[in-house]
């Protein structure tokens, strides 16, 4: 579990100076994982104490697969690189109290990660390093480290898009895109 604060913007998720890598070339795309949530010297607010990066130095993947965030996660510019970078770092799901709409949409449309919403801000009851178990079917979670458990907002129709892999694959499977 990796925990960040409120209003983590897309430049904190993937600093603009690292947008030079191709998202389709395998050796380059892993750079997005390497630099996801790396400390931005003058904008480190909201990152874990000491500006702990998501990935270890010179690593491509994080030891964490779940990220917990406060309110307004993914605010800032509308770059699809942000949820992509988190996925490349190994993040499978984000639980946030609230999302910037464009980040949420980019996460779902690209099928990059599961964007879950909590009913309350969890950053005061979950810590980086805690072990968390998420049950998508019951919209619930349990902190295995502390015993704290809670409910999440249901994914609703978003679940179908994520199951399909991304919005385009969902549209194909649903017959919205004519395969000629």
- Across all residues in the chain, what is the average pLDDT? 91
In terms of Cα–Cα distance, which of 139, 141, 77 is closest to 103? 77
Q: What is the mean pLDDT of residues 5-24?
A: 92
Is the pLDDT reported for residue 142 higher than 80?
Answer: yes
- By percentage, how much of the chain surpasses pLDDT 70? 92
159 falls within a domain: no
pLDDT of residue 179: 72
Q: What is the DSSP letter of 50?
A: G
Is the pLDDT reported for residue 139 higher than 60?
Answer: yes
Look up the domain containing 22 and give its range.
2-153
164 falls within a domain: no
Total count of domains within the chain:
1
pLDDT tens figures, 87-125:
999 999 999 999 999 999 999 999 999 999 999 999 989
Q: What is the CATH number of the domain that holds 25?
A: 3.20.19.10
């Amino acid at each position: 579990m990796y925990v960040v604060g409120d209003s983590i913007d897309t430049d904190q998720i993937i600093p603009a100076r690292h947008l030079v890598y191709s998202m389709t070339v395998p050796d380059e795309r892993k750079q997005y994982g390497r630099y996801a949530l790396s400390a931005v010297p003058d904008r480190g607010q909201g990152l874990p104490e000491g500006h702990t990066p998501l990935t270890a130095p010179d690593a491509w993947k994080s030891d964490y697969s779940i990220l917990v965030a406060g309110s307004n996660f993914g605010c800032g510019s509308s770059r699809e690189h942000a949820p992509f970078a988190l996925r490349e770092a190994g993040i499978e799901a984000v639980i946030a109290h609230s999302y910037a709409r464009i980040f949420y949409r980019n996460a779902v449309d690209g099928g990059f990660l599961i964007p879950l919403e909590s009913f309350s801000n969890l950053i005061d009851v979950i810590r980086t390093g805690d072990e968390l178990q998420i049950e998508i079917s019951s919209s619930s979670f349990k902190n295995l480290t502390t015993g704290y458990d809670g409910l999440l907002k249901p994914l609703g129709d978003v679940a179908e898009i994520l199951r399909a892999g991304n919005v385009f694959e969902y549209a194909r499977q649903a017959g919205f895109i004519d395969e000629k």
